[in-house]
Amino acid sequence: MRQNLLALAVFASLLPIGAAQGQPLVQSQEGIALENQILQLQSQVQQLQAGGGGNGGSVLGGNAAPPPPTSGGAAPGGGIVATLLNQVNDLQTQVQQLSGRVDTLQNQVDTQHAATEKEIGDLKFQMTNGATPGAPGVSGAPAGAPAAQTSAPPPAPAPAVSGSPETMLHDGLAAYARHDYAAAEAAAKAILSTAKGSPQAYRAQYLLGQSLSAEGKPQAAAIAYDNAYNLNRMGSWAPQSLYGLASSLADINQDQAACDTLSSLNSQFPTPPAGMKSKIDALSHRAHCS
């Protein structure tokens, strides 16, 4: 009896480390329910400690004589103590199982993130070397048909951009608003090349992704959006950057990478900015995410 109560007392003294400070052992409803059960057990153990001596003293304190054995030879309350010990063991097992599930889910998230980063890295490498992996075919041509042997017209020269980072960003945003995406792209690139350390560079990087996407350059847009996200993963434009990255990946038929990116978006920003939820759902459907 004394040994059983001592074991319960030791366990009870350890419980506040994880439970009594308001920190759930496992951040889930199931974990919180287990914590409540443990707190109830702790209360029962404390009651046994207070009343177990029979003459006002604690059995664990050693000041009172142990209660006389019953006719069956078992100490009074032995069944209660055994039941409590069994409950404690069961709860410990459930907590360990939940902790294992949390670790498994975290590993899955880490693996998804690593896979997405690798796919983006491969995309950057292929873009640098002139390849366009998974890019859609020529618009209007049937599947499998050879591309027309016509030379593409030379791109229009980018407009000259100058001024302070504030002025260039203002001009770039104004150009984007009037659908002059080439001018917006030029302004964003000018800021990133001449004032990369300025406060305007973060917004300029996202503007670059927007402009490239609007110009129908999804491969370059994906890289720009990824750079914007990595500049500040908790910044004001991080959710939009992840969405833009996922949309650009879907545009070049990289559906799995797009779905992985949307999964990261939903886990990091469960409450996205206003108006984004319907867009996320539509993109998830377009990329065939499960």
Q: What is the pLDDT of residues 228-286, one digit of tens each?
A: 999 999 999 999 999 999 999 999 999 999 999 999 999 999 999 989 999 999 999 99
Within 8 A by CB and 6+ apart from 196, the residues are none
| Percentage with pLDDT > 90 across the chain | 43
Higher per-residue pLDDT: 174 or 85: 174
What gap in Å lies between CA 172 and CA 189, rounded to an integer?
10
Cα four-point dihedral sign 80, 84, 85, 86 = positive
> Among 31-40, 66-75, 113-122, 245-254, which stretch is predicted with the lowest mean pLDDT?
66-75
The model carries a pTM of: 0.53
Helix (H, G, I), strand (E, B) or coil at 60: coil
Q: What is the pLDDT of residues 93-107, one digit of tens each?
A: 888 777 777 777 777
Q: What is the pLDDT of residues 111-158, one digit of tens each?
A: 766 777 777 777 766 666 655 444 433 333 333 333 334 444 555 555
Model pLDDT, residue 216: 96
Closest by alpha carbon to 109, among 284, 261, 278?
Answer: 261
Closest by alpha carbon to 81, among 9, 148, 14?
Answer: 9
Contact 261, 242 (CB under 8 A): yes
What gap in Å lies between CA 189 and CA 130, rounded to an integer?
20
